[in-house]
Amino acid sequence: MTRLPPSPSASAAPPLPTPRGPLSAAVLAALDGSGRYALPSWAPADPWGDDLQLALYVCYELHYRGFAGVDDGWEWSPELLALRAALEEVFLSALRREVGRPVPLAEVLAGLLVEPPDGDGPSHHLLTRGTRTQAREYLAHRSLYHLKEADPQMWAVPRLPNPAKAALVAVQYDEYGAGRPERAHAQLFAAMMADFGLDPAYGAYLDAAPGPALAVVNTMSLFGLHRALRGALVGQFAAVEITSPPGAARLATAFERLGASPRGTLFYREHVLADAVHEQLVRRTVIDPLIADLGCPTEDIAFGALAYALTEERLAAHQLRAWCAGTTSLRTPLPEEPTGSCATAELSEPPIG
């Protein structure tokens, strides 16, 4: 029997990443003890840039698994929280600005159920013409979230009324393996990474991940850590559950084409059915009670779904631009795949028909 890699939940905290500008350098200097941080000038700060996104990601990671050698007390440092709040204000303002005017929630949810007929996202690309190298890059991008899958959404649980809370916990129970730790989605993702010759250690590809990949995860953490944004977090979660089954089916087929073993497709095969069920639970037993029992504005839920879709679209555009140009979509190319992994050669485009 093939052994799965160690569970991500049991892995060591990752090392601190390399700074990408004055904002992230200030945060990292504080955490590694190499200097005092001071709030740099905000004039040149790009809300979508690598520097701000990394600084925000590092601040948020203190609420998850932290970093090797960093004192856990930094999680609630008043000065660092003040800096994080300033970063959040810039990022949240950018999200609101680009999402634009409020859209009725029913219209947003209906739109998420419809896939464009001429879709050309990363899953379409990998299915029809992608290479194994590009599939490995895709997994490296996604590892930032999927190795802690469902953790950001757990912050919503104590902030919901009881009917919605019970429904969300039922969904989360599946995300964490339904009582079988080896079936937790983070564990299945780690096994898939190993099948593609990637390092399944938590945070292994943080330095390689560009700003658009960080922004996807930062959006979840931002919504999860603020009670005032609980509606946005539910909207984000609904968007994931509604939109993932078709993409998951394409990715499972694409990865099989690119030489994956059964454990290299199990994560996405699991999501085809599970998320179809979760979508109904989230819509009918989480969203409806949240609106009815807490009076949560429907525009908050709609904003969360649209903001998350925006970050996903930006990441997809970044990946496709790089792949179409024949370059890596990561900040640095991945090391060559080790010999002896499931497959190491690029496979040809699948036959038509």
What does the pLDDT profile of the chain (353 residues) look like in tens digits?
334 444 444 458 999 999 999 899 989 999 998 776 665 555 457 999 999 999 999 999 999 999 999 999 999 999 899 899 999 999 999 999 999 998 898 898 888 777 766 678 999 999 999 999 999 999 999 999 999 999 999 999 998 878 778 888 888 888 899 899 999 999 999 999 999 999 999 999 999 999 999 999 999 999 999 999 999 998 998 888 888 888 999 999 999 999 999 999 999 998 887 655 656 666 666 777 667 665 677 899 999 999 999 999 999 999 999 999 999 999 999 999 987 655 443 433 333 22
pTM: 0.90
DSSP-derived letter for residue 125 is: H
* Alpha-carbon gap, residue 63 to 225, rounded angstroms: 9
- The answer to whether 111 and 151 have CB atoms below 8 angstroms apart is no
- Residue 298: CB partners within 8 Å, gap ≥ 6? 104, 105, 291
103-324 maps to which CATH number? 1.20.910.10
Q: Which of 258, 273, 315, 67 is nearest to 178 (CA)?
A: 273
Where b means 16+ CB within 10 Å and e means fewer, 145-177 reads bbbbbbbbbebbeebbeeebbebbeebbebbbb
Domain edges within the chain: 8-97, 103-324
Look up residue 158 and give its two tokens. Answer: 């104590």
CB 127 within 8 A of CB 139: no
